Amino acid sequence: MAHINTNFVKLPGSYLFSEIARRVEAYTQENPDKKLIKLGIGDVTRPLAPAVIQAMHKAVEEMGTVQGFHGYGPEQGYEFLREAIARHDYQDRGVDIAAGEIFVSDGAKSDCGNIVDIFSVDNVVAVCDPVYPVYVDTNAMSGRAGEYDVRAGKWTELVYMPCTSENQFTPEIPSKKVDLIYLCFPNNPTGAVATREQLKAWVDYANRVGAVILFDSAYEAFITTPGIPHSIFEIEGARSCAVEFRSFSKTAGFTGARCAYTVIPKELERDGVSLNSLWNRRQCTKFNGVPYVTQRGAEAVYSPEGKRQVEETLAFYRENARVIREGLVAAGLTVSGGVDSPYIWAKTPDQMPSWDFFDRLLRQANVVTTPGAGFGPSGEGYIRLTAFGGAEATREAVARIRTIL
Ligand code: PLP
């Protein structure tokens, strides 16, 4: 008889966004005339840049010719894209990363979920609390998280690093020695960023104890404050202890087109084995590459027109973030994030539980948010709003929230 991977059965049932969808659906059924504004889910709404569309059209035409047809591409990504990424995202910014250290993929979600394949099940894993749930669930699926404690809302074997207003939502190095450390800056869900000094402390720690930092910088394009690092590899010593995940999803609206990449420096080794080689082996076995058309589209993000157009869209979202942030502050809420990040993290009034405030905003303001408690125990007492909506809808949502508060 075949047996299942019982780790999957341990996963808690109700997923955050399905519970939100359920409550929204129930409310809509009861109140079909009400117009809801959704500032909950982190998907983008602006179209792909014209330069990207043009490049994709051209690639589609090529695919229809004998000379221009592309079948299976390299599992690591086409050289043209790996070179463009290395140059524009790293070398031009003074960061030492080469094309051979870049692995193009169909998403940062897949990569930060799949990376667990190359690490021993014995590693002690540290995650921020609140956290992007993928890091937690993928470690649970592969047997590294222990048992789920429903009352605590935590896995017994994971090390949770609270990110609270006391530490400006940046975690402290845990007292227990850890082996794999997930860091995400700018952070989802809190919108916090990490300074050079904070990241340096993590890099020094990881090099000292032999840990590996799994650095998710899916939102780096939103950073505008000078001096805030966009990449872990801006930090001296990171090449021997860090892996970085990046994505075209939020940078350039590729959530539906699917393109991302992972950076693994050549000198990163554990147990005397190169992690770049291990990941290459993993990808070549389980992954057959990103479509040629998509990679040509991603390459166009780096063209002069592409850069300008993408920057315009980012400015659009940044303006939404400003509107939400300033509007909620004016409504009397305590707010963080929303400056170098598309996420605004707001404290609920009068210590109201996240889900209660979510319901109040849904029912009284007809605005859909995300309850912070869904991202981990330290998210209790907060809600997350995103800047990815339309400009008009965002302004309207903030005005409604101000009215009811
Ligand atoms: N990492 C973080 C922190 C995210 O919030 C998201 C998406 O919301 C992703 C990764 C997923 O990115 P992708 O669309 O490239 O899979």
Residue ranges covered by each domain of the chain: 13-42+305-404, 53-302
- What residue's CA is closest to ligand 1, atom 2? 218
Which residues have CB under 8 Å from 129's CB, separation 6+?
154, 160, 161, 162, 163, 375, 376, 377, 378, 379
- 165 three-class SS: helix
- Beta-carbon neighbour count of residue 295 at 10 Å? 25
- Tell me which H or E stretch contains 273: strand 273-274
Q: Is 95 left (phi over 0), alpha (psi -120 to 50) or beta?
A: beta
Residue 301 has pLDDT above 70, yes or no: yes
Q: Is the pLDDT of residue 110 over 90?
A: yes
User: Which pLDDT belongs to residue 73?
Assistant: 97
Half-sphere exposure of 10 (CA within 13 A, CB side): 21
21, amino acid identity: A
Q: Which amino acid is at 6?
A: T
Q: Among 36-45, 55-64, 348-357, where is mean pLDDT lowest?
A: 36-45
pLDDT at 42: 84
pLDDT value of residue 174: 96
Q: What is the DSSP letter of 341?
A: S
* Interval between CA 248 and ligand 1 midpoint (Å): 9
CA of 249 to the centre of ligand 1 (A): 7
pLDDT, one tens digit per residue, over 324-342 is 999 999 999 999 999 999 9
Pick the CATH number of 13-42+305-404 from 3.40.50.1370, 3.90.1640.20, 3.90.1150.10, 3.50.50.60: 3.90.1150.10
Across 241-246, average pLDDT? 98
What percent of the chain stands above pLDDT 90? 98
* Mean pLDDT calculated for residue range 365-374: 97
Residue 41 confidence class, pLDDT cut points 50, 70, 90: confident
Q: How many other CB atoms sit within 10 Å of the CB of residue 183?
A: 25
- Radius of gyration, CA atoms only, the chain: 21
DSSP state of 329: H
Torsion, Cα of 404, 325, 220, 229 (10° steps)? -140
CA distance 396 to 400: 6
Q: Is the pLDDT of residue 119 over 90?
A: yes
Q: Which of 77, 31, 3, 91 is nearest to 260 (CA)?
A: 77
pLDDT given for residue 364 in this prediction = 98
The mean pLDDT of the chain is 97
CATH topology of domain 53-302: Aspartate Aminotransferase; domain 2 (3.40.640)
| Top mutation candidate among 16, 85, 110, 132 for ligand 1, by most atoms within 8 Å of CB | 132
pTM: 0.97
The set of protein residues with a Cβ atom below 6 angstroms from ligand 1 is 42, 107-109, 132, 184, 188, 216, 218, 247, 249, 255, 260
Q: What pLDDT, on the 0 to 100 scale, is given for residue 14? A: 66
Q: Note whether 44 and 249 are within 8 A (CB).
A: yes
Q: How far apart are CA 124 and CA 211, in angstroms?
A: 9
Q: Max Cα separation, the chain?
A: 66
Question: 3-state DSSP call for residue 125?
Answer: strand
Res 298: pLDDT: 98
Tokens of 236: 């001296």
* pLDDT at position 15: 73
Contact 145, 122 (CB under 8 A): no
Confidence grade of residue 190 (pLDDT, cut at 50, 70, 90): very high
